[in-house]
Amino acid sequence: MDNHSQYKNALGLAKRALDYIARYGTPPTPHAYEVFYTVCAGLNPELNEALGKVIAEHRHVTAQDAERLYQEFLSPQQLSEKVETIGAQMNNEMTALLSLIGNAANSVNTYQASLVNAEGQLGDGPAQQNASEMVGALLNATNAMARTNAEVSANLETSRAQVEQLEDCLKLAREESSRDALTGLVNRRQLELVIDESILKSSSTGQPTSLLVVDVDKFKEFNDTHGHVAGDSALRYVASCIKSNIKSKDTAGRYGGEEFAVILPDTSVEHAVSLAERIRHLVNARYLVKKATGESMGKISVSAGAAEFVEGDTAESFLHRADMCMYAAKRDGRNRVESTPAEEPPATAVGA
């Protein structure tokens, strides 16, 4: 996308964000504007869902609602504070560890001094008295050294366990920042990073890379009929169908509200279509049931588009071609897989 197109796109999103602010009576604070702009851009599906629930319940969005949503989903302090806290704890542990090592070194120096002193005593005074005093001093020094070593060993083991636990917490914090909370798939930001990496690899190796875009058919209608809880359950079900069919080198992510994407390294578009067909059949093979009541909600289906990387593709153009194929599947009746793109998505594409 060139600079002029980026400008027009950003301006359009800004106008939509301001329209929403006016529509829902929200005071136009910077944080409120950022919330609505992010929602319009579709950059944070969890935020879209949370805002949708606020609107469904109250029909307006107060300044307090907007600030809460900002702090919960957009505040840059959240992850940085979590990582900073863990980092500080690890720093404390390492400081304590260095102190232990210093104490151990001092203990060794003291013991060495005792040995030197004993050596000097061997040549002075009566041999029997010197030997007796020397043995006693060495026994005392050895016992002190043994106690110090035992203490250092125990403290080192405790520190090692605590550092490992903090490393696990840090790893979890990093994973949480790249995961979609509802489905467990990677989030949009992480997915786009993986697509960029796959494009670079494919360009250098010449191996094919394919991309699937999978969208739940008539999801808005399903949500309106059965409720958001059932809708969330349906999205988790689709995510599980996708995860159970891909390889460890593949990456599946939640790209939008009910839209998923799968990046497939070393995979031709023909094999990508076959995979999408397996996912489509699996999704449509089961009747969904409300756990609380046992009520059948019927079956759901997905439409999917498949595209293969071509030289010159960016993450944006690659996703766009797969997206257009998905819209072609929608246009041709839904519950289909297409690898021939449509001209443009239909005007009623959202929630279709």
SS3 291: coil
Using the CB atoms, write b or e for 158-169: b if 16+ within 10 Å: ebeebbeebeeb
Q: How many whole angstroms separate alpha carbon 341 and alpha carbon 344?
A: 8
Q: Which residues contact 26 (CB under 8 A, 6 or more apart)?
A: 20, 32, 36, 60, 61, 62, 63, 65, 66
Strand 209-216, strand 251-254: pairing: unpaired
Beta bridge partners of 352: none
SS3 289: strand
Strand 337-338, strand 302-308: pairing: parallel
Q: Which residues contact 123 (CB under 8 A, 6 or more apart)?
A: none
Q: What angle do CA 13, 9, 14 make, to 5 degrees?
A: 25
CB atoms within 10 A of CB 330: 22
Q: Which residues contact 40 (CB under 8 A, 6 or more apart)?
A: 13, 16, 17, 20
Instruction: Select from 317, 301, 344, 316 the least CA-distant residue to 214.
Output: 301
Active site residues per annotation: 258
Q: Which residues contact 323 (CB under 8 A, 6 or more apart)?
A: 213, 305, 345
Whose tokens are 């409720």? That residue is 227
Tallying the residues shown for the chain, one arrives at 352
Report residue 275 CA to chain centroid gap: 24
